[in-house]
Amino acid sequence: MANDIPVNSQITDAITQSNLTVIGGAPAQSMGTVYQLMAQSVGVSMQNAVANQQSMNTIDNAIVSQGIAMLFSMDASVEAKASQEILSGNVNAEIVSALQAIIVELKKAQSEQKTET
């Protein structure tokens, strides 16, 4: 029955060409969509990274402010005890304190030498 109706060959060719155009352009269109989605997801992830950094900076500022407030509110005796606990057993701190003692002794010797002359 379908063979009984004559169809112009130009119509058949036009439909075939439009179908081939759609089928041929589909991979390029889908890759374009993939690239757009990838760029958008990378952009969103960068925005999230910046937002997280800003949040961490805010938290860090609050922590530093709280620590400074605690240091300023410490009693002098508690501060001396805390610094002694921190410095004891620390090799670098012991070296620095030894150097400070040497510098004090050198200054004393220089001042004594100046008074003798």
Q: For the segment 9-30, what is each residue's pLDDT rounded down to a tens digit?
A: 888 888 888 888 888 888 889 9
Q: Is residue 51 part of a domain?
A: yes
Q: How many helices (H) and strands (E) does the chain have?
A: 3, 0
Highest mean pLDDT among 12-16, 80-84, 85-89: 12-16
Instruction: Name the average pLDDT for the chain.
Output: 83
**How many angstroms separate the CA atoms of 59 and 65, rounded?**
10
Single pTM value for the model: 0.43
| Residues 43 and 83 placed together within one structural domain of the fold | no
Give the CA count within 13 Å in the CB-facing half-sphere of 115.
6
- Please say which residue of 38, 57, 73 terminates a domain: 73
pLDDT value at residue 17: 83
| Residues 46 and 23 placed together within one structural domain of the fold | yes
**Cα 101 off chain centre by:** 43
| Residues 16 and 32 placed together within one structural domain of the fold | yes
